[in-house]
A and B are shown apart, each in its own frame.
Chain A
Amino acid sequence: MNIKKDFPIFENNPGLVYLDSASTSQKPKPVIDSLKNFYEKENANIHRGIYDLSENVTEKYGKARTIIAKFINAETNEIVFTKNTTESINFLAYTIGDLIPSEKDEIVLTEMEHHSNLIPWQEFVKKNKFKLKFIPITKNYELDYEKAKKIINNKTAILAITHISNVFGTINNIKFLTALAKEKKAITIVDAAQSVQHIEIDIKKIGCDFLAFSGHKMFAPLGIGILYGKKELLEKMLPFQFGGGMINSVSYENASWTEIPEKYEAGTQNISGAIGLAKSVEYIKKIGFKKIQKCEKKLLNYTLKKLKSIDGLELYLPKKQSSIISFNLRGIHPHDVAQILSNENICIRTGHHCCMPLMKKVGILGTCRASFSIYNTKEDVDKLIDALKIVKKIFKK
């Protein structure tokens, strides 16, 4: 099966080698068509519209929520629509204080967090006089699980960790860490931005209280994301934003909130985005994670073999790795590598990848990052390797 043909961007940009899917994925035709269909045939606002268009859209929006809930083995009303992972985590940083008992005052993150799962907690600890602690990384770009056992303690209020590192592709043993946190009665939050499109996620098996991810990295439109939260916790917290669509009754002086999840969705929502996200879930399910992983693993191994044959190429490799590879060409700045690759129609990402403290810890300025998805092929990898040889040639002499 040729998966590339499902993605119109490749037809419209012949020769495009897109290796930046960890940043945002390309979109398959069914997702694009669902947007077109929505605006051409179905557009109306949800809730309270007593006419067919509105009722139809309300139903579709609700169905989308159910499809997404099933995708991660959650209940429908445990799924809150947000803008993206960043907003989901900020949402929690604003509201989670209500759930923390007074004797707890530490938040545990890892040293490999994206800025989006670091800065909201930096601000939280400043405001609430909490302490921030970090599970360190080893020299193999993996988490130090032995040290984690000591860092997570009775004072731990929240454990917020990434499932897969957006820099090194490290797949973290989150099950182990959430279990440690649960022993200490801490709240567990998982940033699944880099995993939900590669690994089948079952929130009950992971054992987390909250899980955040973005649609646009998993073939869905931009501007739609998810916050999963355990029902009993979502019910306890106060809304993050206030306004239309989230109330029960309102007087000039006061208001009461409606049930979850609508309680957390103030204002007109990204309806077409939610429907598009459900389409992307259906698209992923149709291909199946078994096939996705087989295809990605094959490509990863092929790429690593080829990259290792290039002299002066430094790889940052964890043992258990997703479809993300970070590397550097010795003596050549990542920006310059990307610029020359761009000339060959190859898209990679370079720099600190929104992980400035991690770069400092590893002792590098930044990396070149190639990230793969189901539409990538061996030919893409061959083109990358040829282009890296051109970079070396230009900088030689």
Chain B
Amino acid sequence: MNSLNIYKEHILDLYRNPHNKGNLKNPTYEFSKNNPLCGDEIKIQFNVKEKKIKNIKFSGQGCAISQASASLLTDKIKGCSINELKKFSKREVLKLLKIPISPARLNCALLPLDAINEALKNVRN
């Protein structure tokens, strides 16, 4: 596989200008998750109102893949209900990225979703 297929302009754009990057003042839920392979860490914070994701932000440093994934994922799930979010699959994340992901980079692509899933464990029904 030509690994340059993954550095498409839309990915690099999000790396330079990420969406929803920063911190929330009073998050209802947050979770930090690290990728033990590279040491990258991502923090996801969100507010829940009437069982829906109101605001969502991510912070931390990472590679182009994990940063683009975090931008796309947070864009996508803003406004989602908790139940919808719980059903969100790994495949859907890869679909959002629109690039071929090799097994070695799967952890990078899925790190933001993993952090969200961990945070969801604390959400009371």
With A339-B3, A342-B3, A351-B37 given, is the CB distance from A365 to B61 under 8 Å? yes
- B105 near A339 (CB under 8 angstroms)? yes
The answer, among B3, B12, B37, B105, for a CB contact under 8 Å with A395, is B12
Residues on A with beta carbons closer than 8 Å to the beta carbon of B62: 333
Which among A336, A356, A366 has the highest number of chain B CB atoms within 10 Å?
A336
What is the total number of residues of chain A having a CB less than 8 Å from a CB of chain B?
18
The answer, among B7, B63, B105, for a CB contact under 8 Å with A394, is B7
- B7 near A340 (CB under 8 angstroms)? yes
Residues on A with beta carbons closer than 8 Å to the beta carbon of B37: 351
Residues on B with beta carbons closer than 8 Å to the beta carbon of A342: 3
The answer, among B3, B12, B105, for a CB contact under 8 Å with A343, is B3
What is the total number of residues of chain B having a CB less than 8 Å from a CB of chain A?
18
Nearest CB of chain B from residue A142's CB, rounded to whole Å? 23
With A333-B61, A395-B12 given, is the CB distance from A365 to B4 under 8 Å? no
Residues on B with beta carbons closer than 8 Å to the beta carbon of A352: 38-39
Residue A359 is within 8 A (CB to CB) of chain B in the complex: yes
Binary contact track A325-366/B, C-beta < 8 Å → 1, others 0 = 000000001111001101100000011100010010000011
- B3 near A365 (CB under 8 angstroms)? no
With A333-B61, A395-B12, A397-B12 given, is the CB distance from A340 to B38 under 8 Å? no
Residue B64 is within 8 A (CB to CB) of chain A in the complex: yes
With A359-B39, A397-B12 given, is the CB distance from A335 to B108 under 8 Å? yes
Residues on B with beta carbons closer than 8 Å to the beta carbon of A395: 7, 12, 15, 64
- A365 near B40 (CB under 8 angstroms)? yes
A364-397, CB < 8 A from B: 365-366, 394-395, 397
With A339-B3, A394-B4 given, is the CB distance from A333 to B39 under 8 Å? no
Binary contact track B34-68/A, C-beta < 8 Å → 1, others 0 = 00011110000000000000000000011111000
A394 to chain B: closest residue by CB: B7
The answer, among B2, B12, B63, for a CB contact under 8 Å with A335, is B63
Binary contact track A79-118/B, C-beta < 8 Å → 1, others 0 = 0000000000000000000000000000000000000000
- B12 near A366 (CB under 8 angstroms)? no
Residues on A with beta carbons closer than 8 Å to the beta carbon of B61: 333, 365
B57-103, CB < 8 A from A: 61-65
Residues on B with beta carbons closer than 8 Å to the beta carbon of A334: 38, 63
The list of the 8 closest CB pairs from A to B, nearest first, reads A333-B63, A335-B63, A352-B39, A351-B38, A343-B3, A336-B64, A339-B3, A336-B63
Binding site for A on B (CB under 8 A): 2-4, 6-7, 12, 15, 37-40, 61-65, 105, 108
Binding site for B on A (CB under 8 A): 333-336, 339-340, 342-343, 350-352, 356, 359, 365-366, 394-395, 397
